[in-house]
Structure 1
Amino acid sequence: MTGVSQMVASVLFGLAALSGGLSAVAVIRSRGGAYRPDRGAALAALILTAIWAGACAALGHGRPPVLLAEVIRNLAWIFLIYRLFANDGRSETVRAVRPLAVALGLVEALQIAFIAAGHGFETAEIAGLAAETSALLRVLVGIGALVLLHNLLAGAADSSRSMLAWITGGLALLWAFLVNRHMVAYLAGPMSPEMTGGTALVVAIAVPIIALGYARGGADLSLRTSRPVTFRLISLALIVIYLFAMVGLSSWLGWMSGDYSRIAQVGFLLAAGALSLLWLPSPKSRKWLQVTILKHFFRHRYDYRSEWIRFTKTIGCAPDETRPLSERAVQSLADITDSQSGLLLLPDGEDVFSLGADWRWSLPDLPNPAMSDELTRLLEREELILGFDEARRGIEHCGELPHLPDWLMAEKRAWAGVPLIHLGRLVGVVILARPLIPRDLDWEDFDILKVAGRQVASYLVEQSSQQALDEAARFDEFNRRMAFVMHDIKNVSSQSSLLLRNAEKHLDNPEFRKDMLITLRKSADKLEQMLARLGRYGTHTADDREVFDLASLARDVQMRFRAMHPIDFVEVGQCRVVGIREAFDQALSHLVQNAIDASDADAPVTIEVANGGLRGSIVVLDRGSGMSPPFVRNQLFKPFVSSKKGGFGIGACEARELVRAMGGRLEVDSREGIGTRFTASLPSADAAHLMSSSGTRCTSLENEAA
């Protein structure tokens, strides 16, 4: 060996010795599991292998002590194979393989004589003959060991096969390499440094695999390549084979004499390059390669985990959120079968199925209905996946052939029809186009499309339910507006009725006539305001707030109601607050009207404005029948609940919502037989200005500190 080759070989043998030692330690630490009759034999074989590899690293491979250690190592591995047959109690098999194991051991023991012959005689012919005979006998020993391993795994019980898989795999790797190594030595003479280093590398890989079979969880370990890795490895292998073929053919053409060889080489390389550029990148060729690999390398066509992740990502969180769910539903099913396009048929209000969405499928207007009632009932009852290629050949499964629509049978792209079933009801049908590589539907397609179709149906039903809830919410909002408007109309009607009753008594009074005109004008204005508010309930924002005088607003309300009922107003001067004047006027009108309705005709209602510094408030006090604490606590602010006969129960609810919407509070204190006091408060303008100025100063100080 050269110096570099000897150094590399020594390093590899050192690695093999370390691997064998660590594997032996792993087997020792796994003794806590079930009893194994082959554990001691495996431990001895691993230790002897580590000793042999260490001797090779220290002394070199061709020394007699090293060769003798190799014989002992091989005998240990043969004994391990024999002991492996006793794992599942196959006593007859153990007796049957014992003669073969003994024969292999005896043949391997003959290597001691060949070692002595090769190093004891100086004659080159005798040494060469001994080396050839030794190599041939070890080839036979290796083949016999592989035969034993095959019978061991093939005849093992199901309970033992998973346990033996790793051990037999490592031993098969080791003995297969030794067979090839000694065959090369028999045919080509002494081993090259590369082959010697390769032996150490194979041993370093094989012994940990064998040790895995003795681990406590080793029986549950399995090696499964993922589909993307398999596709890439096979694609890489094809590219390498293609390149080697091109280089080999180009070299073969180079052997031709004359200028024709150069012309042939250039033409061949151009043709090969054009072929690779046209065939390899094409989607159809890639799809053909994928289908071929799935058919011959995997038990199932679909990688269900990857398909489900892609399905959920497509239908649940599409990158383009502007696409409707119906289009993403079609794509999610088309991606599973590699279909290039698809249609979605949905029922209308009368359960007539028509085109609901399409994905990459342009069609003229479909007939309406697109499917007959008989076919939809059949799909709903049988949950049948339609195969249109089979139907065109006259094959049917549930009597669906007479009911298939003519436009689908004439559309050559139509390949499969997937019913979308939710709780036994057909909510849609997805029509999938034929994939790039034509094929018939099989049981795997039926299973996965049926499950995915149910999931798509649940998404569509959920969306339909959400749309119905949104529509119901809009109707509810409209009904709320109408209820508030009806309440306001009722108030105006009550005011007008009360005004007419008072007019019979006080029409000759000039002051009354003046107040009556003001009240009628206010009522007309209020009706116009109600019509304007009908379209903008709930549309006020913080930007609509303004500063207004609470006392002035209370005085206007008093003037509006005093012609109908005695109103006392307690003046306290100006009280500027921040809010929405129109909304607060509406809330205060509700409270005053409720107070008037709860009071006797001669019992005045009191309106008092108070300035508390931080907040300005209006108190509406009546001396009516009052309300019980449970009613105030649980029912007062609920719509359509009223303590008055014929009342709507809207005024207090709307008043509180209006006051809260502008940052205020509405409080109530009521005693049965005594009366009720409502207090509506808003932030004062001075306090709001102070808070705003303080926030500005704090922000400035923070900016300066930063």
Structure 2
Amino acid sequence: MVAALILWGHALAAFVFAALALAQLRRPRGQWPHRAFVTALLLTALWALAVAGIDARDVSTRLAESARNIAWLGFMLALVRRDRTGNVAIGAVYIVVMGVVAAGAVFAIAGLVKTDDEAFRAIDSARLVFRMMAAVSALVLVHHLHQAAPATRGGIRLVVIALAALWSIDLLVFTTGYLQTGWPQGLIAMRGFAMAGVGLLLIVAVHRSGDWTLSLSRPIAVRALSTVVLVVYAGLTALATNLADSYAGDYARIVQTAIVFGATTALITLLSTPWLRAWTKVKVAKHLFRHRYDYRAEWQRFTATLGTPGDDPLAERVVKAVADLTDSPGGLLLVPDGAGLSPGPAWNWTDPPHGRDEPLAHHLADGIRIVELDRVRAGQAPADEIASVPGWLIDRHDAWAIVPLVHGGSLIGAIVLARPPVDRALDWEDFDLLRVAGRQAASYLAEDRAHSALADAARFDEFNRRFAFILHDIKNLVSQLTLVARNAERHADNPDFRADMVATLKDSSDRMTTLLGRLSHHSGTRDEPLTAVDVAELIERVAQRRRAQHAIVATAGPALARAHAARLEQVLGHLVQNGIEASAPDAPLRIIAETRDGHVVIDVVDHGCGMSPAFVRDQLFRPFVSTKPAGFGVGAFEARQLVGAMGGTLTVDSREGEGTRFRIVLPAADALEAAA
């Protein structure tokens, strides 16, 4: 029964693959992937026919199976458009896997040689190991081919799925045959019908496929190569342990343990040695790729290192980003210092020197030249370049190259790269990549320095703004002190006046101290929380201070506002001073405060000359605009800024010849806030 299923299943598979091959031959496309596809179909049909007519264990059948696998690997290789990848690494991977398949065929032929039972079992075991290695390696390549296939090309995806099913069935059969003593006849029977299903899936894929070419990226090719090498490594280790089991006799277990332990130790050593990893990377890039660098991956890593903020400052990240391009273990940034360059931030660089190198700065500023220090040491560089390199770089053997950082025609700095683990001379690809990376790094450094300059300018601007406000307050204090000095000539003998004068001087001194504190950028008044302020008490204090200068009428009921007491007093001082200066000596100034609908409303009303609507709209709240000969034009502007910072509003209603009303509206505070 099983033999009949093997016969009919594989005969059906042979019919499906042969029919598909003939159908493809009728409409040739003249493309290499298409020809490889037809060849693989014909060899698969031939193999299935051999299994059906002869036996799966016959040498001719096993050779046909090896030819089938090599044909399908060739078809997969043809799917990869090598002119886009620009390397031969993926071709090397496929050749390695084809070599593993061919080794399995060699062991199949070796089984024909008359040997003893132990040798025959060893050869048969080795043949199964190589067939399993070939199946696993082919599945790895299928996986990477699946990653490269666009999601919109469903036909290619179906081909990949069919190939994965083909080698998954083989792996199941070979693994079962390796683990058990007898040949898995049941799985062989099932494989025939499964292969017929694979053929039907390929028929569907053919009708849905358009372009037969794919493009594997460089990372996929490297991962495929690494995975296949690991599979081959593990397979050879398993083969060695099988041979030891057959020929080591009583010492088989000890020899097998030594093989496994030695292979594992060797693999860990290889993977954990930085020099060996760097050497492997260089050799692979040199011999398997057309270009040394995967520019897309390198540029993504470069920009990620520069653009990702972290604990390290930007200058150190710039050095690291450029050093990573050439696998340099460290680097030093030379920064402009007058007419020369001085050592600056470093990454994995010890004992930077002191001093300034002007000749090197002049040489690098003349053009974007990558300085190869080994050529300078050997005297092979141009004379001007040799003369410009400082002695401390010549004496330091681990200094490898100097990359200038030029932005907009200006030398932003230079990076000294440490020698990579695998010493080599720089080539044209290194020069091109480092030149472009130097320009990009220079733009980052220039932008960072521009931001720092803008921040300094902003701090100066803030200082100037505060100073302008303080000058305005000083002007008010000077007016108040001038009035005291004028009255002192007439009322110096009056004890009440002397007491009032001392209080005024003390208050002016305290206010001057507060004004000087506001100049410091460490002043924290702008971050103080809002509190409940007794507006009536504050208005009375402001009015009492100014009554010696002008008549002021204060009318305030119980009112608690959420504000800053010092800021609100400062605002009222500005508005009262403006009202006094705008009013006639016999026209009193009124300050009114009351609570309305959850807000505290404070009015400062004068009966002076007033202002025109155009002046109020266009100039009143603009800084440095004033109608007074000695005015600074910042009082109203600062008052509105301070009120806005407290969550309130400042409005003005003025009529020429009648007077002006400034109105402050602040959120009201409740009794609980006042108690707190």
**Rounded Cα–Cα distance in structure 2 between residues aligned with 1:366 and 1:264:** 57
State yes or no: 1:388 paired with 2:379: no
State yes or no: 1:285 paired with 2:312: no
1:335 to 320, 324, 333: 324
Letter of the 1:616 counterpart: V
Deviation at 1:377, TM superposition (A): 2.0
Matches within 5 A, 1:639-654: 639-654=623-638
Deviation at 1:16, TM superposition (A): 3.7
- Corresponding residue number in structure 2 for 1:316: 307
Deviation at 1:427, TM superposition (A): 0.7
State yes or no: 1:441 paired with 2:430: no
- Corresponding residue number in structure 1 for 2:112: none
- Corresponding residue number in structure 2 for 1:614: 598
CA deviation vs aligned residue, 1:145-179 (integer Å, no higher than 9, x gap): xxxxxxxxxxxxxxxxxxxxx9xxx9xx9xxxxxx
8 A contact 2:609–2:658 mirrored in 1: yes
Would you say how many aligned residue pairs link Structure 1 and Structure 2? 537
**Rounded Cα–Cα distance in structure 2 between residues aligned with 1:286 and 1:477:** 55
- Kindly tell me: are residues 657 and 199 of structure 1, through their superposed partners in 2, closer, same or farther at Cα, counting changes over 3 Å? closer
Letter of the 1:496 counterpart: L
8 A contact 1:519–1:563 mirrored in 2: no
Partner SS for 1:667: strand
- Kindly tell me: are residues 16 and 611 of structure 1, through their superposed partners in 2, closer, same or farther at Cα, counting changes over 3 Å? same
State yes or no: 1:463 paired with 2:448: yes
- Corresponding residue number in structure 2 for 1:9: 10
CA deviation vs aligned residue, 1:443-471 (integer Å, no higher than 9, x gap): 11111111111111111111111111222
Partner SS for 2:594: strand
8 A contact 2:333–2:414 mirrored in 1: yes
- Corresponding residue number in structure 1 for 2:348: 360
8 A contact 1:639–1:653 mirrored in 2: yes
1:566 to 536, 551, 555: 551
Deviation at 1:535, TM superposition (A): 3.9
Partner SS for 1:638: coil
Matches within 5 A, 1:152-191: none
Partner SS for 1:668: strand
8 A contact 2:16–2:199 mirrored in 1: no
**Rounded Cα–Cα distance in structure 2 between residues aligned with 1:407 and 1:478:** 44
Matches within 5 A, 1:474-623: 474-504=459-489, 515-535=500-520, 539-540=524-525, 544-569=529-554, 571-623=555-607
8 A contact 2:592–2:602 mirrored in 1: yes
8 A contact 1:347–1:428 mirrored in 2: yes
Letter of the 2:666 counterpart: L
8 A contact 1:622–1:675 mirrored in 2: yes
1:345 to 327, 334, 339: 334
**Rounded Cα–Cα distance in structure 2 between residues aligned with 1:407 and 1:354:** 12
Deviation at 1:233, TM superposition (A): 2.7
State yes or no: 1:296 paired with 2:287: yes
Deviation at 1:5, TM superposition (A): 3.2
8 A contact 2:575–2:604 mirrored in 1: yes
- Corresponding residue number in structure 2 for 1:104: none
Letter of the 2:274 counterpart: P
- Kindly tell me: are residues 5 and 666 of structure 1, through their superposed partners in 2, closer, same or farther at Cα, counting changes over 3 Å? same
8 A contact 2:248–2:255 mirrored in 1: no
8 A contact 1:625–1:673 mirrored in 2: yes
CA deviation vs aligned residue, 1:52-92 (integer Å, no higher than 9, x gap): 979x99x9779xxxxxxxxxxxxxxxxxxxxxxxxxxxxxx
Calculate the aligned-residue CA RMSD, in Å.
Answer: 4.4
Partner SS for 1:426: strand
Letter of the 1:550 counterpart: V
TM norm structure 2: 0.69
**Rounded Cα–Cα distance in structure 2 between residues aligned with 1:407 and 1:630:** 70
Partner SS for 1:399: helix
Deviation at 1:368, TM superposition (A): 0.5
Partner SS for 1:685: coil
Partner SS for 1:239: helix
**Rounded Cα–Cα distance in structure 1 between residues aligned with 2:426 and 2:535:** 78
- Corresponding residue number in structure 1 for 2:116: none
State yes or no: 1:679 paired with 2:663: yes
8 A contact 2:5–2:189 mirrored in 1: no
**Rounded Cα–Cα distance in structure 2 between residues aligned with 1:245 and 1:325:** 49
2:405 to 407, 414, 420: 420
2:646 to 655, 662, 682: 662
- Kindly tell me: are residues 637 and 615 of structure 1, through their superposed partners in 2, closer, same or farther at Cα, counting changes over 3 Å? same
Which structure: larger Rg?
A: 1
- Higher relative contact order (CA closer than 8 Å, sequence separation 6+): 2
CA deviation vs aligned residue, 1:99-133 (integer Å, no higher than 9, x gap): xxxxxxxxxxxxxxxxxxxxxxxxxxxxxxxxxxx
8 A contact 1:20–1:207 mirrored in 2: no
- Corresponding residue number in structure 2 for 1:228: 219
Partner SS for 2:576: helix
8 A contact 2:330–2:348 mirrored in 1: yes
CA deviation vs aligned residue, 1:380-412 (integer Å, no higher than 9, x gap): 222011112222222225831222112112211
**Rounded Cα–Cα distance in structure 1 between residues aligned with 2:550 and 2:585:** 7
**Rounded Cα–Cα distance in structure 1 between residues aligned with 2:45 and 2:239:** 39
**Rounded Cα–Cα distance in structure 1 between residues aligned with 2:234 and 2:620:** 87
8 A contact 1:346–1:353 mirrored in 2: yes
8 A contact 2:13–2:199 mirrored in 1: no
- Kindly tell me: are residues 222 and 560 of structure 1, through their superposed partners in 2, closer, same or farther at Cα, counting changes over 3 Å? same
- Kindly tell me: are residues 689 and 225 of structure 1, through their superposed partners in 2, closer, same or farther at Cα, counting changes over 3 Å? same
**Rounded Cα–Cα distance in structure 2 between residues aligned with 1:270 and 1:655:** 82
Structure 2: unaligned runs, 5 residues or longer: 55-155, 164-187
2:315 to 308, 315, 326: 326
Partner SS for 1:374: helix
Letter of the 1:446 counterpart: F
Deviation at 1:375, TM superposition (A): 2.2
**Rounded Cα–Cα distance in structure 2 between residues aligned with 1:688 and 1:11:** 92
Deviation at 1:288, TM superposition (A): 2.4
